Structure 1
């Protein structure tokens, strides 16, 4: 077969083959729009999560009022027979029905959270104010005062709770915060003072042991790579109740930081032992 015959055979073969359907401009545009919408939805979901972290500085959950709440301390692994394993209902509220989630919104546990908040406010030293939230606080703004009572686990048939209160403290143009978190007896947190302190919110840091009377208190005087807070103390009472007291020079990115932390290291250690925070 010479060159001319080969070309003729190819032309005949192509002529006998059904051509593909013509491209539809409308179909192509529709496919492109669907792909673009999928990308936008993905970025929107990622963006909303990023906003929560940017506003709070934490992986956050919502409070009963829909505001942003700082998380409770690092939880121990779920123990066998816990509510997570057995699918037991949440603890019973004052209305006689199980709670909707971990947070107590009424009743004695909720009241203890309020009590803790009041004690934290009273512990702030002279020279610092404790501003309250405005009446019409934007939902995306960090709250100046926060309290929560939270069910943690069921250990040996007993409900174990934690309580957290966060209070903004201001001096001059700067605003920082003081946080107290209490874990009821029965918690699975470590006993060694610095191991306990370094485990607070999983932050780690440079720790030393302070002696307060007969008590040994772990105090992180300098955080590691996680600098959400500047210093914090940790103490386990003989009855098993654990108290964390933390302070930070900065409340959020929208406000100037304090030039001086409210408490010295010995004062921070003494607060962890203070009976005002020894919730039972």
Structure 2
């Protein structure tokens, strides 16, 4: 099995309870990059495949020793790796190239931590933000995560994306709020609904919401890919892209939320919120 076939198989397995992610930018880029939330169970079942992943650039989420987080899908897809991909990874704070796309220390990692804290800060009153209990079984979905991931080098500039996911609960139900940010210079489309439909390659019924002078694309109803219920997308004038998503269900082991945390106008306003405008 080739490295690309292995990555495809892993993404399929790690899509949790929903279809595998066609990960982002259009048909050409559409099935290649990160599993932006993955399971230890997959690592265990694949055994020595972890060695292959270290070479092929499959990014794990979190710090060494942490539980691996399982996203519903991925973000901006990378162009296919060629040759020795280790040479392409950015240099970490220790002066050595990263082992894969994920920053586990340094300023980029810190941006991911910042984004997680900002996501926690916007969860509305009436919803709790449960955290992982001590000694949680590895097969259970982690409730909070953050990741800083190297996407590509364009004109000598490293492009990164940052993603955080937070479980939100009300009554017996548990859902999630996800924010993903892409550096300026990314190849994502600029038209609001085209941008929104690019998130994790998902489609759906989109409408343009006006927030001040900004035009924000909001998918108010997903298509056949229902990993999330609603999401908004905005490209800042400097090119930074922000996606804000909400889902009523965290996983099959927990009841879903009765009500989503944000209304459509609130979801649109969050996409332009300066707290998520990482630079």
Into which bin does the TM-score normalised by the smaller protein fall?
A: 0.7 to 0.9
Quick one: distance in 2 between partners of 1:213 and 1:227?
Answer: 30
Quick one: distance in 2 between partners of 1:203 and 1:228?
Answer: 9
**Does residue 225 of the first structure (1) align with residue 227 of the second (2)?**
no
SS in 1 for 2:206: strand
C-alpha change, 1:132 and 1:209, in structure 2 (3 Å) is same
For 2:210, the equivalent position in structure 1 comes to 211
More relative contact order, 1 or 2 (CA 8 Å, 6+ apart) = 2
Is the contact made by 1:56 and 1:142 (CA closer than 8 Å) also made in structure 2?
A: no
Is the contact made by 1:55 and 1:142 (CA closer than 8 Å) also made in structure 2?
A: no
Is the contact made by 2:207 and 2:218 (CA closer than 8 Å) also made in structure 1?
A: yes
Q: Find 1:75's aligned residue among 74, 77, 82.
A: 77
SS in 1 for 2:98: coil
**Does residue 149 of the first structure (1) align with residue 145 of the second (2)?**
no
Deviation at 1:54, TM superposition (A): 3.7
Larger Rg: 1
| Runs of at least 5 residues in structure 2 that lack an aligned partner in the other structure | 1-8, 22-34, 39-59
For 1:241, the equivalent position in structure 2 comes to 240
Bigger helix share: 1
For 1:129, the equivalent position in structure 2 comes to 128
Is the contact made by 1:69 and 1:146 (CA closer than 8 Å) also made in structure 2?
A: no
Quick one: distance in 1 between partners of 2:13 and 2:201?
Answer: 22
Deviation at 1:67, TM superposition (A): 1.5
Instruction: Kindly report the root-mean-square deviation, in angstroms, between the aligned alpha carbons of the 2 structures.
Output: 2.2
**CA offset digits 1:108-154 (Å, max 9, x no partner):** 00000000000000000000000001111111111100100000000
C-alpha change, 1:266 and 1:49, in structure 2 (3 Å) is closer
The 5-angstrom pairing of residues 1-280 of structure 1 reads: 52-54=14-16, 58=20, 60=35, 61=38, 62-63=60-61, 64=63, 65-70=66-71, 71-75=73-77, 77=79, 84=82, 87=85, 88-280=87-279
Quick one: distance in 2 between partners of 1:224 and 1:69?
Answer: 22
